[in-house]
Chain A
């Protein structure tokens, strides 16, 4: 007698299976993270309770979660589009920083322009900054078949050092007494907030509208059709006379541009100045990868998953101080969740059958 494990491809994946797999992967992640909490000497239930309360349990917590979900949504919706074309832009973090540099740079250069002109200019510049940063891996991929995963990721570190160079060097504010910050933005370079919260609502509105636009683009336009065909089967795309290169360029540049907008939102809506890269974006570009996958690459669902991940970041901050945990704790969340989502992705497409053979 022996046990035989067979793996079969599922022909049709039902909606219930899909949603079930997402919930299951989250559940399993929380189990694994609970074990890690235990090793750190923290009662996991207590930790989860505090995360929940911290992120979603108060008006303040909720407002913070929404604020953090803004960059996650902008970058995550763009990544969902890119991943749909099977173009793996891993460098949204760098594209966020480039958006912050260009957008922030415009804010610093023309502080006296009226707000109604300066802010749109900053967003436009930030979009172009992120888009151009993503154009580098796009061109390398289409011209020389260089893997975009590596190039886009490596460019994150270059972007980080570029920000560092600027805030330690030429852009350091004279009044910052040696600290690595630019001068504060003028009032017209700062985004308005919702009441006393840190929700810079113009960015939120832009993010929601763009997410909807991406959804429409993907499922109702000719270009979106090409993106989906090329992502599913590049050979069929080529056979139908589509330009695979054009699709790759488009999704990389657009996702980079959206990440760039997120960078502008952070510097103009939260910090009101440029500072060290870790301050501008504590890994939003990487968390956005999880936002996209958790939404199963459906742009509309990224609204939910961005809010969820935003809440988790806020809750994570809360337990770091309350339970005296290392600041890297929240990255463990990211890693474990991504791991299980990808594993669950496999299980939704394949069925594992265990048989006892006599």
Chain B
């Protein structure tokens, strides 16, 4: 009886699992897309685009060749069917690392394009989204010079992730983007990449109004943006103080909010606690207490530039720093509409506290 029961169970298992529709995807018999790009194509109407996908081909001498497929369409998944027509093996997107949109595309609504990434269960939340300064497909089809055993997709993902860890980029990926998009009182941002000497490089941060590109940070703004947005470590900051160039490194910064009376015109203060190493100081004869002086001056510099950046964001009516989100957490009956009305009028102060932990060894 027991044997009969288990036999029935095994037969059921075999027969019913036929209904699961599992598809074999043997590793070396598929093309794994590592990066996609979207460039607008006005011939196909307002939302028409040209999608380009690159897949790595692994050669026996351990080098990687990148092959690209492109198709023009209005719908992201439709382009996959079209690219399949060009490919020798079925194309799968489970190893997608990077998706790059041209600025043209980003100026329209971006979210409908990212929707397909969210729906596809084989694509993870760590997918990197980025905006291309010029042409998006150029970035993923240009193989970085001297990089033989890596494909463009993972190179780009590594580059951006490395700049999140130890560079000017705040944490960004599909998950962060989607969170900011749906959050009340926060706007999204994405890194901007461009090509320079045949290699991709991080140019700045693209700020969005909801999911529409509005502004790109320039120079020091990106660093200030990161410091005002999240806790940072290993950041660098340079400033000109009284004609002397100062550069601090290995910055560990913490930001906190003081919101005395939320949802009123009472000023909101963002505190920045910065601990850093002094690495460069162009004054050859510094006074005895020069670190104290530099600290003071740096504080003023950060406060001035930070407030300027925030003012700029307020003027553009975008809340990329998520200040609204901070207010929301401190308000019992949060009214999104009311906040949006008052956002650009609220005075927002930056209060910096710089501490130079080490000023280097000079004989």
Q: Do A and B come from one complex?
A: no
Binding site for B on A (CB under 8 A): none
Binding site for A on B (CB under 8 A): none
